[in-house]
Amino acid sequence: MSETPQAEDKAQDKPVPRILFHRIIPSARPPQRADKSAMGSLPTRAFRFCEPVVTASGFGYYVFPPIAFALWWDGSAIKWRPGGHEEWLPLTTATVPGFPAYFDAQVPEEMKGWWPPFLGALIEPGQVQMWTGLMVRTAPGWSTLVRPCANVPRKAGIEMNEGIIETDQWFGPLITNFRLTRTDIPVEFAADFPFVQVQALPRIALDEPAQNGFVVTEGLPSFAAEDWDDYYDTVVRPHVQEHRPRGQYAAAARKRRKGEDAA
């Protein structure tokens, strides 16, 4: 039964979220807003006064592994072990236990058997691809950056890649690639600790002509009067004030954002 014209108009008027997460593996922890304290790892002084670090830490969303698991690389082959299991299994491709049956019970007939793998060993030594258990859509003109969690201490034993996906055009599993960097020691992955940070980016920021149009000046001789005024306000004034307030940039940036949000 088709929708009435009024219902179609309402559907078209419904605002499109900047980013939409489809949680395909039910056991996976839902994404959450990134933490401005970087999961509590920032020093208190940095959290209070270093607004650039705080802003970067809180930009985007934390994404978690869909299950707990471990990997073991002997320098040649990779083995994996789901959480709660004792046996190590050779890794070529692997699925989350029980997920294929769940997938086939939920999808149209022609989709049965086409579940995304959870883990895959790539041809490069020590390289692994992991599906987050999510699929993502973004608003028109927005892409998705998948990267390590900003300012959260890196997990020992892995080196992560970053990638940008045009998720307003391409709809598929949200994956990430990483490289194991140590051998003969298992690397454990917890299901309740964020593994990657996902950030929605306007595609205009990726425009090649604009990125190639950067300018480099001759430095101090090229400063205009307003540059010297701004330099004085930023660098000199805080040191010559009789009473120097701490965190001036942080306070100004937070006040400015609060005003923008209100507008």
Domain of residue 169, CATH code = 2.70.40.10
Q: Rounded to whole angstroms, how far apart are CA atoms 89 and 71?
A: 9
d(CA 123, CA 152): 29
pLDDT, tens digit (0-9, with 9 covering 90-100), for 142-157: 999 999 999 999 999 9
Does 145 share its domain with 100?
yes
Q: Are residues 109 and 226 located together in one domain of the fold? A: no
Bridge pairing between strands 61-63 and 32-33: antiparallel
CA–CA separation, 97 vs 218, rounded Å? 60
Tokens 């892409």 belong to residue: 143
Quick one: tokens of 129?
């691809």
| pLDDT on residue 44 | 87
Tens digits of residue pLDDT in 96-113: 999 999 999 999 999 999
**Which of 206, 226, 246 is where one domain is finished?**
206
Q: How far apart are CA 25 and CA 60, in angstroms?
A: 21
pLDDT in tens, 33-51: 999 998 898 888 888 888 8
Q: How many whole angstroms separate alpha carbon 227 and alpha carbon 207? A: 27
| Domain carrying residue 252 | 215-262
pLDDT band at 241 (very low <50, low <70, confident <90, very high): confident
Residues 110 and 129 in one domain: yes
Report if residue 107 sits inside a domain. yes
Instruction: Clarify whether residues 96 and 165 are in a common domain.
Output: yes
Cα–Cα distance, 236 to 250 (Å, whole number): 17
DSSP class of 116 = P
9 within a domain of the structure (yes/no): no
Question: For residue 11, is it within any domain?
Answer: no
